[in-house]
Amino acid sequence: MKLYQKIVNKQEKISVVGLGYVGMPIAVAFAKKINVIGFDLNAHKIEQYKNGVDPTNEVGDDAIKETTVDFTEDETRLREARFHIIAVPTPINVDKTPDLSPVKGASTIVGRNLTEGSIVVYESTVYPGVTEDVCIPILEKESGLKCGVDFKIGYSPERINPGDKVHRLENIKKIVSGIDEESLDEIAKVYELVIEVGVHKASSIKVAEAAKVVENSQRDINIAFMNELAMVFARMNIDTKEVVEAMNTKWNALNFYPGLVGGHCIGVDPYYFVYEAEMLGYHSQIVLSGRKINDGMGSFVADEIIKKLVLVGKVVKKSKVVILGITFKENCPDTRNSKVEDIIKRLKEYGIEPVVVDPHADTKQEYDVDLVDLSEIKEADCVVLAVAHNEFKTMGLKKLDSMFKDCPNEEKVVIDVKSILDKAEFQRLGYCYWRL
């Protein structure tokens, strides 16, 4: 009997290694159909899941309370499973090179608990070749088993969009790949249990790995183009959003907007592509340039804040700047690689200690920032809407104005990074308004 059939019949289990923004929704989705072991090294996180708490807000507390996922931090429990999904983060080092330590560590753990006849599938974003050249040797060394003979391997890049309630795991087509036709067929069938729109079978593991880094690099480059335009248009005193809206009247416009590009995917994946290209003797000209532009947008926004404070007659060092949002994207608690931090760092160079509000951010966020409740904000000289959380999009002019000092509107600086406010209204009322 094939492994897939045993899994469906609940004679075998699958495991999900790494229960973050990607792994946890996968585990919960599979648990509706089959037996799932959810493993993570973080004992606190496991305890939260066992208590029915979803720290990621991806599926919600109710779904966690109802799920049959067997959450554990005991790695020996992985021996009960024969189909392993590894969904750990793949960050970058300070020098922008790939940090493969999480995926290597996960491979070590799975390897020493691997049993004959198993399939291991990686979802972590990597450059082409990592699964076969880096991960397989670790699995073989730790298990004493031979890949292709005693166990099989595959790669299926994650495509979950954290915080997105429309594009979910179930309705995003899944790329799958395997080391051979047999493993590809088994992996495809397993994922088809939860992916309602079906899977795309890549011809090789390297093709699947490349597809992931390319899809994020493509988006990164397009946003970088818009960011570069925004910086130029700012000098021309032209509103970028109005330009984009005019451009979008053409049928083949791509509808990208400028913005802060952070997070653990678009802000990271291009560096994996660039790294491998350079290892092969090719120096990236477009991808790396796009990354440099996007990495500099936080400083650009901060400099615009300073300019506007000066223009309205504020003493920069004594100005109170309030930043609304610190997560890398809207309606999501994830602060990893948030470019809002770059705004904060740049403002501090000018002697400003900004006040930060974020109702979604993880209280254990990685930056040295004390979050303040929105209701406590008052006496501001400048308010920066950095993240388009629903709470900020719906708060209205009266609430926003209550955050400022009692002074003429002409002295109130509003920085709308996400272009969520009504520009015409704010300009009509005399505010010093600027948007990216």
The alpha carbon of residue 46 and the mean position of all alpha carbons in its chain are separated, in whole angstroms, by 21
Q: Which CATH number fits domain 204-295: 3.40.50.1220, 3.40.50.1980, 1.10.1040.10, 3.30.830.10?
A: 1.10.1040.10
Homologous superfamily, domain 296-436 = NAD(P)-binding Rossmann-like Domain (3.40.50.720)
Same fold, 3-202 and 204-295: no
User: CB of 382 within 8 A of CB of 415?
Assistant: yes
**106: phi then psi, degrees, rounded to nearest 5:** -65, -40
Single out the catalytic residue among 265, 332, 382, 432: 265
User: CB of 71 within 8 A of CB of 52?
Assistant: no
Q: Which residues contact 342 (CB under 8 A, 6 or more apart)?
A: 260, 295, 297, 298, 299, 302
Nearest alpha carbon to residue 130 among 151, 102, 149: 102
Q: Which residues contact 422 (CB under 8 A, 6 or more apart)?
A: none
Opening angle at CA 122, ends 121 and 127, nearest 5: 140
| pLDDT score of 414 | 97
DSSP structure string for 305-372 = HHHHHHHTT--GGG--EEEE--SSSTT----TT-THHHHHHHHHHTT---EEE-SSS-TT-SSS--B-
| pLDDT score of 167 | 65
Secondary structure of 358-385 as H, E, C letters:
CCCCCCCCCCCCCECCHHHCCCECEEEE
| pLDDT score of 1 | 66
Q: Which residues contact 119 (CB under 8 A, 6 or more apart)?
A: 3, 82, 83, 84, 151, 152, 153, 154, 183, 186, 187
Homologous superfamily, domain 3-202 = NAD(P)-binding Rossmann-like Domain (3.40.50.720)
The whole-model pTM stands at 0.90
Taking 3-state DSSP, the helix, strand and coil percentages for the chain, each rounded to the nearest 5, stand at 40, 15, 45
| pLDDT score of 267 | 82
pLDDT by residue for the chain (436 residues), tens only, comes to: 689 999 999 999 999 999 998 899 999 999 999 999 999 999 999 999 999 999 888 888 999 999 999 999 999 999 999 999 999 999 988 898 999 999 999 999 999 999 999 999 999 999 999 999 999 999 999 999 999 999 999 999 988 766 666 667 788 899 999 999 999 999 999 999 999 999 999 999 999 999 999 999 999 999 999 999 999 999 999 999 999 999 999 999 999 999 999 877 888 888 998 998 998 999 988 999 999 999 999 999 999 999 999 999 999 999 999 999 999 989 888 888 899 999 999 999 999 999 999 998 876 666 778 899 999 999 999 999 999 999 999 988 999 999 999 999 999 999 999 999 999 999 999 999 999 9
| pLDDT score of 325 | 94
Q: What is the DSSP letter of 70?
A: E
| pLDDT score of 164 | 62
Distance CA 293, CA 288 (A): 9
Q: Which residues contact 349 (CB under 8 A, 6 or more apart)?
A: none
| pLDDT score of 134 | 97
Residue 93 structure tokens? 């080092």
**Domain residue extents for the chain:** 3-202, 204-295, 296-436
Tokens 């079906």 identify what position? 198
Residue 217 structure tokens? 């690099």
265: annotated active-site residue: yes
